[in-house]
Chains A and B, each alone.
Chain A
Amino acid sequence: MKKLINWLQLAAAYVKLNFRSHLEYRGAFISQVVAMAVNDSCWIVFWTLFFTRFPVLHGWTQKDVLTMWAISASGFGLAVTVAGNTFQLARVVGRGELDSWLLYPRAVLPHLALGRMVPSGLGDAIFGYVLFFAFVRPDWQHMLLFLVFSLSSALLFIGFFAIAGSLSFFIGNAEVLAEQWIFSLITFSTYPSPLFDGVVKILLFTIIPAGFVSYLPIDALQGLSLKYASLSVLGSAAFLAIGVSVFYLGLRRYESGNLIGMRG
């Protein structure tokens, strides 16, 4: 327990530091946060237009799609706000920029992951929570489940980014491949699950685990099902564990880029 609190304190210290660092460029920071929230809102406009013409899509209503967007956006937003470096891990590894992180006294991955904040992620997170609480208007049970899912989705995103980014350890510069893989997860996480079946559905619980980010949580929220909720949380925890394992497995193959740089 003491160890967990210790790690949470480290995470809080990093978030505070990154936040202050971004506030030095206040205008740019605020504009990125607002722009991302507006960007997400555009998708809500699209779905509103869609559901105005076609009210039900294979049993999914507009409320379900809004909930799906709220979970995906808040989960992704939390992940890149707190652990933004995982989002660009493939670039860091591919360019041999990991050296400075290897000097830290604790485990490498937490320091590396927490070392950067993606400011637009805060816009995603704020958008996700506002969307759910203001438009879906949940009761306390749904509210509690939603909070759990936004956190479990964030953990899954971090684990998945670690897996995708670690490709660079094994195949050299995997920047483009990792980026496309990550965008595939984000994209599939924002469309209703009944659209997909057969092989694609299997892929959505394995190679592109969007099923754990938004589909199982929607099933759980629709029927207040603890079974689906547990599956979703377990799936996220599994992907986080796989991500951490793959990173440390790949780290053994890391070759320094001999870069000279400074980090504030």
Chain B
Amino acid sequence: MNELRKYTWIAWTSARSSWAYFGDAIGRVIFFSIILYIFLRLWTTTFTQTGATHLGGLSITQMLWYLTITEAIMLSGPKVSTLIDEDVRTGTIAVQLLRPMSYAYYRLAMTLGERTIRFLVNLVTGCAIAFLLVGQLPMVGFGMLTLCATLPLAFILDFLGLFLVGLSAFWLEDTSGLLLLYSRGVLIAGGTLIPLDLYPSAVRPILSWLPFANITAGPAHVFVSPLPQDLAMILCRQITGTLVLGAIAFVIYKQALRRVFVNGG
């Protein structure tokens, strides 16, 4: 119980710290708004041009709210892998390991705290833009509940992916390339820009079980179409993904710690 309180406090401190840098938040909101505006234009044009009422099972209103949520999640991610990379390269990780807490859980708590604030800022901005452009989403109350149910595991899954990227600093000269590839994985394979239902049917089942899709597309899907069976399926995939990725992260973390050498003096 004490352990949980400790990490909750770290997350809370991280959230407060994130809130303090309001200028940074505004800067990110500008970029988020631009990206959202462009995608809203792209899909509005596509719906108008094709004359379709539904694309990939989503109406234009659902599609635009779907993109709002995927982009809000995608652009709320803190630079945790860069911080881990720095800790490894500067040797700070050796000092962190001396603290009476797990380094991995410490980073997780910090990430969740910061990300919650960033996501809320994005969500409020995104909702305002989507509401102005396409109006309210039907069953938005249920949608919010299902979104809240899937977000914690989505954030944890993303953290695990970024944690692995950061840990690769133990073996690689530079991790920025790997980070770029990971983020593009979330963008393309995660259904952030195009709902997975619009992908070729051959790749859809594979993509839906990958962690990427359960970080952005899964929560966004149950937000715009809050059906109990879909929620259960997304949660099932998220739990499976967390267990698998968590096990991989555990093994890699143990291997990485063997490469930490501390020379006293």
Contact assessment for A176 and B24 in the assembled complex, using a CB-CB cutoff below 8 Å: yes
Contact assessment for A32 and B194 in the assembled complex, using a CB-CB cutoff below 8 Å: no
Q: Which residue of the partner chain, among B23, B26, B30, B177, contacts A32 with CB atoms under 8 Å? A: B177
A22-78 interface (Cβ within 8 A of B): 25, 27-28, 31-32, 34-36, 38-39, 42, 45-46, 49-50, 52-54, 56-58
Q: How many residues in A have their beta carbons less than 8 Å from beta carbons of B?
A: 34
Interface string of A108-142 (1 = CB under 8 A from B): 00000000000010000000000000000000000
* Residues of B close to A50: CB separation below 8 A: 194
B1-54 interface (Cβ within 8 A of A): 23-24, 26-27, 30-31, 34-35, 38, 41-42, 45-46, 49-50
Rounded to whole Å, the gap between the CB of B30 and the closest CB of chain A is 5
Say yes or no for A180: interface residue by CB 8 A criterion.
yes
Other A-B pairs, 16, CB within 8 Å; known A32-B174, A54-B46, A176-B24: A25-B174, A31-B172, A31-B173, A38-B184, A46-B188, A57-B46, A176-B27, A179-B27, A183-B31, A183-B34, A184-B31, A188-B34, A191-B38, A191-B42, A194-B45, A196-B41
Say yes or no for A8: interface residue by CB 8 A criterion.
no
Say yes or no for B199: interface residue by CB 8 A criterion.
yes
Docked Cα-Cα span, A188 to B42, in Å, equals 12
* Residues of A close to B50: CB separation below 8 A: 54
Contact assessment for B180 and A39 in the assembled complex, using a CB-CB cutoff below 8 Å: yes
Interface string of B148-178 (1 = CB under 8 A from A): 0000000000000000000000001110111
Docked Cα-Cα span, A34 to B172, in Å, equals 15
Contact assessment for B49 and A58 in the assembled complex, using a CB-CB cutoff below 8 Å: yes
Q: Which residue of the partner chain, among A53, A120, A194, contacts B198 with CB atoms under 8 Å? A: A53
Rounded to whole Å, the gap between the CB of B162 and the closest CB of chain A is 15
Contact assessment for A28 and B46 in the assembled complex, using a CB-CB cutoff below 8 Å: no
B176 to chain A: closest residue by CB: A32
Say yes or no for B193: interface residue by CB 8 A criterion.
yes
Rounded to whole Å, the gap between the CB of B242 and the closest CB of chain A is 25
Main secondary structure of the interface of B (DSSP, over half): helix
Nearest 3 interchain pairs by C-beta = A35-B177, A28-B174, A176-B27
A77-103 interface (Cβ within 8 A of B): none
Q: Tell me the B residues contacting A by CB distance below 8 Å.
A: 23-24, 26-27, 30-31, 34-35, 38, 41-42, 45-46, 49-50, 55, 172-174, 176-178, 180-181, 184, 187-188, 193-194, 198-200
Docked Cα-Cα span, A35 to B182, in Å, equals 10
Rounded to whole Å, the gap between the CB of B59 and the closest CB of chain A is 16
Q: Which residue of the partner chain, among A46, A120, A187, A196, contacts B193 with CB atoms under 8 Å? A: A46
* Residues of A close to B49: CB separation below 8 A: 54, 56-58
Contact assessment for A176 and B45 in the assembled complex, using a CB-CB cutoff below 8 Å: no
Contact assessment for B42 and A180 in the assembled complex, using a CB-CB cutoff below 8 Å: no
Docked Cα-Cα span, A177 to B30, in Å, equals 9
Rounded to whole Å, the gap between the CB of A188 and the closest CB of chain B is 7
Contact assessment for A187 and B180 in the assembled complex, using a CB-CB cutoff below 8 Å: no
A58 to chain B: closest residue by CB: B45
* A-B contacts, 27 listed (Cβ < 8 Å): A25-B174, A27-B173, A28-B173, A35-B180, A35-B181, A38-B184, A42-B187, A46-B187, A49-B198, A50-B194, A53-B55, A54-B46, A57-B46, A57-B49, A176-B23, A176-B24, A176-B27, A177-B27, A179-B27, A183-B34, A184-B30, A187-B31, A191-B42, A194-B45, A195-B41, A195-B42, A195-B45
